[in-house]
């Protein structure tokens, strides 16, 4: 119980989980002797128990006794769970942890939400404003976040993967809420505000100090969150309201299962094949084969055989965690190091065969009147294509100013082709792109779906086509088959 809860809102909001009737000072003084006091300390909740109710606090998973401070400690993200338990047990408490604001959400919404966006927010509300939403790229995930901010009316932290996205979100949020202070943390900025936009890299560094200033936290591209360090950003912030956004939450390491723990359950999901037509451009996915020369084939098979033989001898399987095990085992012996080199060679032969460039030239000529995005697995191939076809290239080495200039000229039609490695996989809005060409890539389904998503934004009546160039008779064929198990390929 707090003496005068300043924020009475309807159940099941955790802020209502205090008694709202005014308490006389004399009674309040007596209750103080039996009260639990909660404060925020270095990304945790410091809990001082002045009664025999310690067993209730200890029952919460993650609660530990801190001998240094002589109090119980919980990760800050357990705030919602702690307050709920205390309320349900009718145990009085004093909340000194929560410092976030109630905002007057004066807004300038310029459109009505689509049906799927309304459904997503309704479902999120049903789950007590905790959980993640899965929507394809181009279907308005960021607008769902705006709606969540309107629903919660609390100071908000928005966490994104890159500096580029941080600035993109800033511009977007500023358009909707021009009268609310908006700050940035990351890229040399440190300006906490009522709405603060930061990166995953900055969140885990700073949220242990300011994690009690936000009532809502939004994790964009939340599949990044379960990483060993990035997850700290979610644990250090006490925000009772949590929203995750992703087009492809699944991770090869199974880390997506931790999203339920860090954010909440998946509350709403739509796949690409469900959204094509009304909300996304209609599309085709076409596989084009490239062939190795006789000399390339011989070299490929020699290295492939050496690599596969090593896997079998050491009982290694390239499934979940298989790559990490291969790295560990291969570096212990000379045979293992040779197997690792052979793995790299056979992969390079399949991904960079000259016949792929001939196929690329054919596709460029075929679609010379359209906007193309060419995706490669590595920077070297991207630069090679840029030099051969005299087209702009964007990699992680490209300066932000140059990248913006290239994208601007591409959207204006000055450039009709961009070649890139991985930096355009997520978070970049390129509605004019209609043709995607994957010259090489990883086995990641997420990467493939993200690349498809780059060309699916509605733009007039465009029809999008994604070409996947696969080298015949190599491991690229099985990788392609595995990626094609995604729902994006299941067209009615």
Q: What is the DSSP string of 205-234?
A: HHHHHHTTS-SEEEEETGGGTTSTTTHHHH
Identify the pLDDT of residue 320. Answer: 64
Q: Looking at the structure, do residues 286 and 211 belong to the same domain, yes or no?
A: no
277 found inside a domain: no
Give the count of domains, the chain.
4
The answer to whether the CB of 424 falls within 8 A of the CB of 418 is yes
Domain final residue pick, 95, 125, 143: 95
Q: Looking at the structure, do residues 260 and 342 belong to the same domain, yes or no?
A: no
**Cβ neighbours for 466, distance < 8 A, ≥ 6 positions apart:** 283, 284, 285, 286, 435, 436, 437, 438, 451, 452, 455
Neighbour-count burial for 237-252, b at 16+ CB within 10 Å, e otherwise: bbbbbbbbbbbbbbbb
DSSP strand pairing (216-220 vs 241-246): parallel
pLDDT in tens, 66-111: 888 888 899 999 999 999 988 888 888 889 999 999 998 888 787 8
CA trace torsion 187, 193, 197, 203 (10° rounding) = 70
3 found inside a domain: no
Asked whether the whole model's pTM tops 0.75, one would answer yes
Residue ranges of the chain with pLDDT lower than 50? 1-12, 16-32, 492
Q: Looking at the structure, do residues 123 and 264 belong to the same domain, yes or no?
A: yes
Identify the pLDDT of residue 9. Answer: 36
Domain final residue pick, 270, 303, 320: 270
Q: 216 forms bridges with which residues in the sheet?
A: 156, 241
Q: What range does the domain containing 235 cover?
A: 115-270
110 found inside a domain: no
275 found inside a domain: no
Q: Looking at the structure, do residues 155 and 243 belong to the same domain, yes or no?
A: yes
CB-CB neighbours of 319 under 10 Å: 9
Identify the pLDDT of residue 28. Answer: 47
Torsion region of 491: left, alpha or beta (phi above 0 gives left; psi -120 to 50 gives alpha): beta
Q: Looking at the structure, do residues 332 and 357 belong to the same domain, yes or no?
A: no
pLDDT in tens, 427-457: 666 767 889 999 987 767 777 788 888 888 8
378 found inside a domain: yes
The answer to whether the CB of 237 falls within 8 A of the CB of 76 is yes
Q: Looking at the structure, do residues 266 and 304 belong to the same domain, yes or no?
A: no
Q: Measuring CA to CA, how many Å separate 151 from each of 104, 242, 260, 288?
A: 11, 12, 21, 47
Q: Looking at the structure, do residues 124 and 249 belong to the same domain, yes or no?
A: yes
Sequence-separated contacts (24+) of 107-110 with Cβ below 8 Å = 107/146, 107/150, 107/176, 107/177, 108/175, 108/176, 108/177, 108/178, 109/146, 109/176, 110/175
Identify the pLDDT of residue 425. Answer: 64
Tell me the C-alpha distance between 146 and 222, whole Å.
16
Q: Looking at the structure, do residues 393 and 300 belong to the same domain, yes or no?
A: no
Q: Looking at the structure, do residues 56 and 81 belong to the same domain, yes or no?
A: yes
Tell me the C-alpha distance between 369 and 381, whole Å.
24
In 67-191, which residue ranges form alpha helices assigned H by DSSP? 79-88, 115-126, 141-152, 163-176
Q: Looking at the structure, do residues 137 and 260 belong to the same domain, yes or no?
A: yes
User: Any idea what the Cα angle at residue 434 is, between residues 140 and 408, rounded to 5°?
Assistant: 75
234 found inside a domain: yes
Sequence-separated contacts (24+) of 230-234 with Cβ below 8 Å = 230/200, 230/201, 230/203, 230/204, 231/204, 231/258, 231/262, 232/43, 232/203, 232/204, 232/207, 232/208, 233/159, 233/200, 233/203, 233/204, 233/207, 234/77, 234/262, 234/263
1 found inside a domain: no
Tell me the C-alpha distance between 280 and 276, whole Å.
5
- CATH at 45: 3.40.1170.30
Identify the pLDDT of residue 22. Answer: 44
Q: Looking at the structure, do residues 311 and 322 belong to the same domain, yes or no?
A: yes
Tell me the C-alpha distance between 200 and 218, whole Å.
11
Identify the pLDDT of residue 440. Answer: 84
Assigned token pair, 310: 């090593």
6 found inside a domain: no
- CATH at 445: 3.40.50.300
Tell me the C-alpha distance between 132 and 200, whole Å.
17
Tell me the C-alpha distance between 73 and 44, whole Å.
6
Q: Looking at the structure, do residues 363 and 333 belong to the same domain, yes or no?
A: no
Domain final residue pick, 336, 351, 366: 351
């Amino acid at each position: 119980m707090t003496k005068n809860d300043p924020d009475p809102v309807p159940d099941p909001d955790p802020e209502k989980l205090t008694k709202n009737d005014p308490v006389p000072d004399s009674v309040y003084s007596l209750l103080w002797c039996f009260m639990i006091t909660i404060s925020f300390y270095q990304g945790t909740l410091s809990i001082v128990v002045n009664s025999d109710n310690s067993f209730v606090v200890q029952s919460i998973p993650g609660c530990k006794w801190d001998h240094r401070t002589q109090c119980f400690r919980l990760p800050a993200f357990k705030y919602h769970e702690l307050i709920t338990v205390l309320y349900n047990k009718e145990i009085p408490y004093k909340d000194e942890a929560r410092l976030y604001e109630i905002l007057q959400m004066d807004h300038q919404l310029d459109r009505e939400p689509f049906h799927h966006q309304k459904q997503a927010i309704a479902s999120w509300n049903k789950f007590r404003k905790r959980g993640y939403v899965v929507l394809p790229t181009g279907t308005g995930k960021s607008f769902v976040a705006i709606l969540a901010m309107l629903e919660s009316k609390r100071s908000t932290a928005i966490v994104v993967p890159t500096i580029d996205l941080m600035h993109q979100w800033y511009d977007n949020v500023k358009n909707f809420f021009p009268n609310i202070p908006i700050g940035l943390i990351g890229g040399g900025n440190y300006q906490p505000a009522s709405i603060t936009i930061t990166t995953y890299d900055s969140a885990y560094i700073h949220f242990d100090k300011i994690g009690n200033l936000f009532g809502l936290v939004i994790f964009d591209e939340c599949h990044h969150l379960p990483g060993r360090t990035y997850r700290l950003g979610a644990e250090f912030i006490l925000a009772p309201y949590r929203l995750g956004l992703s087009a492809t939450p699944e991770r090869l390491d199974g880390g997506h299962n931790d999203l339920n723990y860090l954010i909440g359950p998946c509350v709403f999901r739509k796949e690409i094949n469900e959204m094509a037509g009304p909300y996304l451009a209609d599309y085709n996915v076409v596989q084009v084969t490239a062939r190795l020369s006789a000399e390339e084939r011989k070299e490929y098979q020699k290295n492939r055989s050496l690599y596969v033989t090593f896997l079998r001898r050491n009982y290694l399987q390239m499934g979940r965690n298989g790559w990490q095990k291969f790295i560990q085992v291969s570096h212990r012996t000379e045979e293992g190091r040779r197997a690792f080199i052979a793995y790299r060679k056979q992969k390079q032969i399949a991904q960079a065969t000259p016949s792929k460039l001939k196929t690329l030239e054919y596709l460029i000529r075929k679609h010379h009147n359209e906007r193309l995005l060419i995706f490669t697995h590595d920077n070297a191939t991207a630069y090679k294509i840029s030099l051969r076809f005299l087209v702009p290239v964007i990699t992680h080495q490209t300066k932000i100013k140059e990248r913006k200039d290239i994208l601007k000229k591409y959207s204006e039609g000055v450039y009709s082709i961009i070649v890139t490695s991985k930096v355009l996989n997520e978070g970049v809005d390129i509605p004019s792109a209609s043709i995607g060409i994957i010259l090489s890539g990883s086995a990641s389904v997420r990467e493939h779906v993200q690349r498809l998503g780059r060309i699916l934004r509605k733009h007039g009546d465009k029809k999008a086509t994604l070409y996947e160039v696969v080298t015949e008779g190599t491991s690229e064929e099985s990788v392609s088959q595995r990626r094609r198990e995604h729902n994006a390929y299941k067209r009615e």
